[in-house]
Amino acid sequence: MPPPHKGKVPTKGAKQILTENVATVNFYRNMSLGAGLFFNIVSSVFYYDSLTGLTIFLNFFVIMIYVGCYQMMRYISRPRYSDNSQIIDPGLDLNMEGGMGEHVKDIIILSSIIHVLAVVSSYFWLLLLLLPMRAFYLVWKHILGPWFFQEVPEDTEQDEKKRKKLERKMNRMK
- The overall average pLDDT reported for the chain is 85
Q: What is the predicted pLDDT for the residue at 33?
A: 96
What residues contact 105, with CB distance under 8 A and at least 6 apart?
24, 28, 73, 94
Q: What is the predicted pLDDT for the residue at 143?
A: 86
**Pairing state between β 80-81 and 87-89:** antiparallel
Higher pLDDT: 14 or 75? It is: 75
Q: What is the predicted pLDDT for the residue at 113?
A: 96
Closest Cα partner for 39 from 108, 119, 111? 119
pTM of the complete model: 0.76
Q: What is the predicted pLDDT for the residue at 32?
A: 96
What is the percent of the chain with per-residue pLDDT over 90, rounded to a whole number?
42
Q: Rounded to whole angstroms, how far apart are CA atoms 115 and 128?
A: 10
Domain ranges of the chain: 14-132
Residue 127 pLDDT exceeds 80:
yes
Q: Give the mean model confidence (pLDDT) for residues 46-74.
A: 91
**Tens digits of residue pLDDT in 34-58:** 999 999 999 989 877 778 899 999 9
Higher pLDDT: 165 or 61? It is: 61
Confidence band for 1, pLDDT divided at 50, 70 and 90: very low
